[in-house]
Structures are given as structure tokens and as C-alpha cells.
Amino acid sequence: MTFLRRLAVWPCLRLPVRGLYSPTLDVAAAGTVPRVSLTRSKGQLCTHSRKLHSESPSSEATEVELNKLDGGDIGIVEVVMCRQWARNSLGKVFVHQMQELVSTLHHDSAVRVVLFRSAVPGVFCAGADLKERAQMTNAEGERFVHGLRSLMTAIAMLPMPTIAAVDGFALGGGLELALACDLRTAAFSAQMGLIETTRGLLPGAGGSQRLPRAVGFSVAKELIFTGQRLGGERALQLGLVNRAVEQNHDGDAAYKEALGLAREILPQGPIAVRMAKEAMNRGIEVDIASGMAIEGMCYARVIPTRDRQEGMAAFIEKRPPQFTGE
């Protein structure tokens, strides 16, 4: 399947593959969200069809875009969240665009690793768009949360490995998005938490189910009951993230760590990696005997592949394998 180099549903905010940025904050009136701009230190400047600081963005603005890496990183695809004016909060347009991009990824056999990252300095995803939610009726709110839950499930069901790069705030639905990914990296300065109980709610997009699977039952209960926030170091200690690093001057330390992790996955047999993910994801939900049967079925699907033959030949010939995903 042909994969577009940059696929987006609307005219887009471009983010260079490896361009570095440093955040500058323009503090707005008290009680409002600070306006954020990007100052590029390398590569081309981000462009957009309107001013980045607009408080009333056009409905045609891109809030999520897909970025396919090239060169030695072919096979790594980034889902870039760029809802600048609302700190990547989960609004209707954001969720709709994310759903369409995730659906596209699900059917693309050329994609080997998906990396979820933010183009907004200091923020991964700030959670629900409370301004939008306040305008919804109870029934509309329930339908919207159902759509959020479906989005997180679609992310979790992507057949290839997924990595969330948490370089800033990942609160409520933002952490639920990260939890829907297979792996997570974080900067020490990141702030993560399922804070819904502080708003009179509970996690409604999978957090009450995925957090216990990540950190254990009793720890997850404590975190959700108290609504507390964790920094990157504490998140690493609890197993909430796989890797945590000091934040750098450019504010993208977690992204760089995630990209390095993606590069470690990239050379491995893509079919084998996908089948390993399926075996683990399905097996963890059943008893050990059923899990063994699932593993056997996944293993059987790898046996007839050219990649398995290539892996064996490369081992015998003492050379790196050249996997093609066939």
C-alpha cells in the first residue's frame, strides 16, 4: 500500500522530521492558557494557513498530522499533535483527525513503528477540552467519551509497536492516550496523571483499565483515587514509562529517546514483531493455557514467511538480516 509522505486531512502545520525547537511563552491574561510559539533552531519553520496564536482557530486547521520519516528511518511514522492554541486538548476536531490517521496506519503494512509526539512545547496532551465539554448535554458528553474510548482502543489495536514521547503535561485523557501505546518515554520534567477524580469524574477513555495493567492494581488505585501527578523519574520507578531522561534545552528529550527506541525496533523482523505484539496483547487477557495456544497460532503465522527464511540465512552466513515484511 502506498504511503503518503505527509498525510493530513486538512491543510497542515508542518513539523520537520528532526528540526529542533525551543519554547517561548507569551503569557496571556490571568486565567487563560499561555499562548505558545515555536522558535526553530534548525530546519525549516513550521507553517500554517493561519496565525499560530489565534484564539479562535479555523475549523479547517490541522490539529493532528502524520509524518513519515525517510533515509535510514524508513518505516518509522510520527503522529504529530499540533493543536497549539488549546495545548493538544481532546476536542471534536482533534479526535476526528486522530481517528482518521490511526485508521490509515492500521492498514499500512509498510509502517513498522508509530511514534506519538507533540509539536507544542511543554505539553504532550492536556486532556479533555473542558470548554467544549461544558457546551455539551449529558447525552452528547456521553457519546463524545464513547468516541474517545474507541479512539484509544484503535490506538491500542494498531498491529505495529507504538511509542508515546511525553515531553510535558499528559493529564487525564492525555495520559490515557499514552497508556494506549505499547511503550512510553518521558522527560524528568513531564507531569503525568489521571486527574479525573479532581473534577468529579473517573477515567473514561481506558485509563481505569490500562493503568492497573501498567503499574499494578493497588498503585493504580492510589493514583486514580488521589488524582496525583507524577514526574518522569517517579513514573519510571512505577513502570508507567519504559525510559525517562533529563529534559534538554530544546524541550524534546523524550522524543529523542523515543526515536532511539524506535530505531532499535526498526531492524527486527516486522512480521515477527507484529505477531509478538498480538501474542502478548491477547495472551495477557486469558489464562496461561489459552495464552500458550495464542502464542502457538501467532508463531505458526511466522513460519512460512520469507523474513523467517532470511533470518535463518543471515544467521548462518553471519550477516545482518534484510527483512522485507514478507
Spell out the per-residue pLDDT of the chain, length 326, in tens: 333 333 333 333 333 333 333 333 333 333 333 333 333 333 333 333 333 333 445 556 899 999 999 999 999 999 999 988 888 888 899 999 999 999 999 999 999 999 999 999 999 999 887 788 778 888 888 888 899 999 999 999 999 999 999 999 999 999 999 999 999 999 999 999 999 999 899 999 999 999 999 999 999 999 999 999 999 999 999 999 999 999 999 999 999 999 999 999 999 999 999 999 999 999 999 999 999 999 999 999 999 999 999 999 999 999 999 999 88
Per-domain residue ranges for the chain? Answer: 21-265, 270-317
Q: Considering the candidates 196, 244, 257, 272, report the single residue annotated as catalytic.
A: 196
**Helix, strand, or coil here: 123?**
strand
Q: Considering the candidates 127, 173, 174, 251, report the single residue annotated as catalytic.
A: 173
Q: Is 176 an active-site residue?
A: yes
Name the CA radius of gyration of the chain, rounded: 20
Domain range 270-317, its CATH number among 3.30.360.10, 1.10.12.10, 3.40.50.1370, 1.10.10.10: 1.10.12.10
Q: Is 196 an active-site residue?
A: yes
* Cα separation, 266 vs 194, whole angstroms: 31
Q: Considering the candidates 8, 61, 128, 254, report the single residue annotated as catalytic.
A: 128
Q: Which CATH superfamily is domain 21-265 in?
A: 2-enoyl-CoA Hydratase; Chain A, domain 1 (3.90.226.10)
pLDDT recorded at residue 60: 63
Helices (H) and strands (E) in the chain — how many of each? 11, 11
The candidate with the shortest Cα–Cα distance to 119, out of 162, 151, 61, 167, is 167
Residue with the three cell numbers 503465522: 301
